[in-house]
Structure 1
Amino acid sequence: MTETRPSPALPDSADVVVLGAGPAGLVLGNLLLAAGIDCVVVERATPAQVRTRARAGFLAPNTVRILDRHGLADGLHRHGSTHGTCEFRTGQGSFRLDYGALGHREPHTVYPQQDLVSDLLEAYLGAGGRIRFSTEALSVHDADGPRPYVLTRGADDDRPTRWNARYVAGCDGRHGAARRSLPPGTTLHHHDHGVSWLGLLAEAPPSLDAVGYAVHDRGFAGHMARSPRITRYYLQCRRGAPDNAWTDEQIWDELDLRMRAAEHGPLRRGAIVERGVVDLACDVVEPLRHGSLLLAGDAAGLAAPAAAKGANLAVLAAEALAEALTDALAHGDDAALDRYSVRVLTHIWRAREFTHWMTGLLHDLPGPDRPGGPSFHASLRRARLDSLRTSRAHQVWFAENYVGV
C-alpha cells in the first residue's frame, strides 16, 4: 500500500475532510466516494495500528444491513459468526436468554472490529480513496464561515498543513480535534456511572457458548467470545486502580470466583495479551452540526461499553451523514445536515437509555446503604434480574433493545 502525502508547505483541499479512520470515518469515506464526492481521511495512527486496534466485536443486525447495502460486508459474511444467547449468573441462580429468537428474532454478528476496519480500509483504498496516516488533526477553523479549513501535522512535518474543505466530518473520538473545535455554548451531556472495568483479551478458547454476565457481591464479570482462540473478559475493579494491580493468575482466580466456576466449571485459561481499565461513562453532544463541522461516532457521543452500542451507532451515523452530505453537495439541500443531527440524536439517546438500564442491571451502582441491609441499588438489581428471568414481555423488550440501535 502506497500513501502519497502533500508537501506541508502547500495547502490542499477536499469537499469533505474526514477526521478519523475508525468505523464511522471509513464507512463515511467509502460512501462519499461511491457518491462521487471528493474526500480525504486524516488519521493520526499508522496503518498497522489502525488494522490492529482491538475494540468491540458485536455487530447489530441493522449494522450488517447497512454494510450489505453498500457492498462492505463480504469479510464479515466470510469470517463472522452469529450469536443470540446471553447467560446471566447470579447469587439467586443462573438463566439464559435466547434473545436471537425473541422480538424481531435477530442475533448479533460476531466480527472483531479491527477486522471490520481492515475491510473498510481495503475497500476505501481500492476505490482510490485518499488517506493521510500518521497525521494528527490539530484544529478546525471557520466552521461558521464560507471557507472552513483543518490544520494537520504529520509525523515528519515541521509545520502544519492547511486542508481547505466545504465540510468537515469529525469522526475522531471524544478527545479529537472536532470536539476541541466546537464553539462556546455547545451542549455536552455527561454521565459517569461510577463503575470501572478491567478489560482483558485472552488467548484462550471461549468457556461458554453465550455472552456471560456474572453479577457477584465482589463485582461484575463478563465473558464475550471473539474467535475460537480469543476471548474478551471484563472484571469490575476499583476506580483508579492500575491495570497491572493483579497478576494473570489472580485475574483468572477472580474470574473463576465471580463467574461461579464452582457451579459451572472452571474457565479455560490462557495468556492475557491485552489489559486496560475503562471508566464507564457516557456523553452526548447536541447538536451534531456546527456550521460546516459535523460529528459522528464517539465524537458525537461516547457510549459506555455495557451494551455494545458504540461501533453500531457509528456505522448508522456514517450512513446518515453520507446521505446528508450528498444532499447538501449534489443537490444544494443544506437543511439535510440539520435533519441529520435530529435523526441521529434520536438513535443515540435511545441507545443511552438502554445502556444506562443495562449498567444498572449488572452493577451495584454507588449509593447510600441502608443500615444492616443491602443497598437500595442492589435490591433493584435483583428485582430487574428476576423480572428478566420470568417475564416474557420483559425478555422481548430486552431482545429488541439489546440488538437494536
Structure 2
Amino acid sequence: MTTTQVGIVGAGPAGMLVATLLRRAGVDCVVVEQRDRAYVEQRSRGGTVEHRVVDLLRRHDLAGGLLATGQVENKIEFRMAGRRYPLRYDPVAQGRSHYIYPQQFLVRDLVEAYLADGGDLRFETPARVITGIEGDRPRIEVESPSGGSEVIECDVVVGADGEYGVARRTVPAGALHAYEHQYGYAWLAVLAQAPPSSDCVINSIHESGSCVHVRRTPEVSRFYLQCARDDTTEDWPEERIWKEIRLRLALDEPWTLHEGPILSTGTVRMRSLVCAPMRHGSLFLAGDAAHVVPPVGGKGFNVALADAEELALGLMDRFLRHDHERLDAYSPTRLARIWRVQEFVHWMMDLVNTPGLGTPAAPFLHRVQMARLERIVASPPYGAAFLEDYIGYW
C-alpha cells in the first residue's frame, strides 16, 4: 500500500497542473492514469489558451513551451453571406491576447515538469474504486500495469479523470446534482494535415450550418462543421467534408482555403453539464469530471486549468498552513465562475450555430443570427461586451 497526502486520478491538464503545483510546494501526491504516456501526450483536444491562463502558467514558471512556440491571437473573424466581420481584441483587451497552444503540448510540459521534480506518476494504472471519501483517509484501489492491484491511501482525492471516470461515480446518489442541457445538433470535428487558412479563429454563420476554423500548428488545422445530432463519421466522407467547408467559409473576395489529408474525424453531440457541488467529503472534482461545455469559444480547457490552480492553492493552505478556508470555499468559488462561462457559451452557441436546422423555422432564426452579428459589429458597447466574455477579460 502507498500512503500520500493527495491522490490524483487523471493525468490530463487539470490533474497534472494540480500535481505539479503541489509537488513544487512540497505537498506529497501520487498521480494515476489509465492510459500510457504516449497516448496522454498526443491526445488532441482544445488549443485556445486565454490570457488569464497564460498569466497563471507564468506565475508558476510553467509557460516556457507556450511562450516559445505558441501563436498569439488578437482577433476573431466571423463570416456570413460571403462577407468578413473581423473583431480585434484591442482596445477592449488592453493588450491581452489568446495563445494557440494545443492541449497535448501543455500536458506534455506539465508531465515533464512533474517528473523532473521527482513526482510519482503512474501511467497504465487505472483507478478501479475510490472508497472512504466521507472519512479522513480515503483509498484509491488501482490496477497496476502487470495486472495486480494496489491501494493508495491519502488525505484527499482529486478527481480529474473526465466525465466518464470513476471519481464522479464515487459520489453517493443524491449528493451531487447534474444540471444538463442538450443541443439539437452535433459538430463534426475534423483535424487536417493542412496549414491554417487564417491567422485567427473563423466562425462562419451559414444557412447550411456553422463552420469553425481553428489553427492548431503551422502544419495542422482544426475544423468544426455543424451537423445533425445523429450523424456519424460514416456520413461524412472526406469529399463531403471539404465540399461543406468550402461552401460555408466562402467569401465574395479572393481567399485561399488550404486543404490536405484528414487526420481524424469525430462527432461531438453538443451539450453542457455542471455538477454541483464539486466536493463530497475528501473528494474534489476538477475539469471535465465536474463540468462540460461545448467547444465554441474554447472555454473548456481554460476553465479546467483555473479549477486546478484554485484547488491546488486551497490544498497548499490546508497542508502547509493548516488553513482550510480556501479549500472549503473551492466548490462555490469555482461554480460561480463556471456558470458565468456556461452562460456565455450558451449565448455564443445561438450566435454561431444555425438553430432549427432543417425545420421551417430555420430561415427566420438564421436572419435573427444575422441581425445579432451585425449588432456586434455596429454597436461598440455590444461588441465590447462580447469581447470581454470571449477574451476572458474578467
Answer yes or no: same fold by TM over 0.5.
Answer: yes
2:387 match? 399
> Is structure 2 residue 377 aligned with structure 1 residue 389?
yes
Task: Give the alignment of 1:171-250 within 5 angstroms.
Answer: 171-185=160-174, 186-250=176-240
> Is structure 2 residue 279 aligned with structure 1 residue 265?
no
Distance 1:370 1:128 in 2: 61
Distance 2:383 2:360 in 1: 30
Contact preservation (8 Å) 1:13, 1:164? yes
Residue 92 of structure 1 and its aligned partner are, at CA, apart by 7.2
Q: TM-score, normalised by structure 1?
A: 0.93
> What count of residue pairs does the alignment treat as equivalent?
392
Q: What's the secondary structure of 1:374's corresponding residue?
A: helix
Distance 1:184 1:220 in 2: 38
Task: Give the alignment of 1:286-365 within 5 angstroms.
Answer: 286-365=276-355
> Is structure 2 residue 23 aligned with structure 1 residue 38?
no
Residue 334 of structure 1 and its aligned partner are, at CA, apart by 2.8
> Is structure 2 residue 153 aligned with structure 1 residue 164?
yes
Distance 2:30 2:36 in 1: 16
Letter in 2 for 1:374: P
1:54 match? 44
Contact preservation (8 Å) 1:206, 1:228? yes
Change (3 A) 1:226 1:92: closer
Q: What's the secondary structure of 2:291's corresponding residue?
A: coil
Residue 139 of structure 1 and its aligned partner are, at CA, apart by 2.4
Contact preservation (8 Å) 2:79, 2:202? yes
Residue 262 of structure 1 and its aligned partner are, at CA, apart by 5.8
Letter in 2 for 1:323: L
Q: What's the secondary structure of 1:265's corresponding residue?
A: coil
Distance 1:66 1:383 in 2: 37
Contact preservation (8 Å) 1:261, 1:267? no
Which digits, 9 at most, give the CA deviation of each residue in 1:324-347, with x for residues without a partner? Answer: 111122232234322111111111
Once the two structures are overlaid, the 10-residue window that deviates more, 55-64 or 91-100, is 91-100
Task: Give the alignment of 1:85-104 within 5 angstroms.
Answer: 85-91=75-81, 93-104=83-94
1:274 match? 264
Residue 245 of structure 1 and its aligned partner are, at CA, apart by 1.8
> Is structure 2 residue 127 aligned with structure 1 residue 127?
no
Once the two structures are overlaid, the 10-residue window that deviates more, 247-256 or 30-39, is 247-256
Percent identity for Structure 1 against Structure 2: 39
Residue 258 of structure 1 and its aligned partner are, at CA, apart by 0.8
Distance 1:104 1:399 in 2: 11
Which digits, 9 at most, give the CA deviation of each residue in 1:213-272, with x for residues without a partner? Answer: 111111111111112211111111111211132221221111000111564434111011
Q: Considering only aligned residues, what root-mean-square deviation do their CA atoms show, in Å?
A: 1.8
Distance 1:242 1:369 in 2: 20
Letter in 1 for 2:384: V
Q: TM-score, normalised by structure 2?
A: 0.95
Residue 58 of structure 1 and its aligned partner are, at CA, apart by 0.8
Contact preservation (8 Å) 2:191, 2:263? yes
Contact preservation (8 Å) 1:193, 1:365? no
Distance 1:304 1:195 in 2: 11
Contact preservation (8 Å) 2:161, 2:167? yes
Residue 121 of structure 1 and its aligned partner are, at CA, apart by 0.6
Contact preservation (8 Å) 1:102, 1:395? no
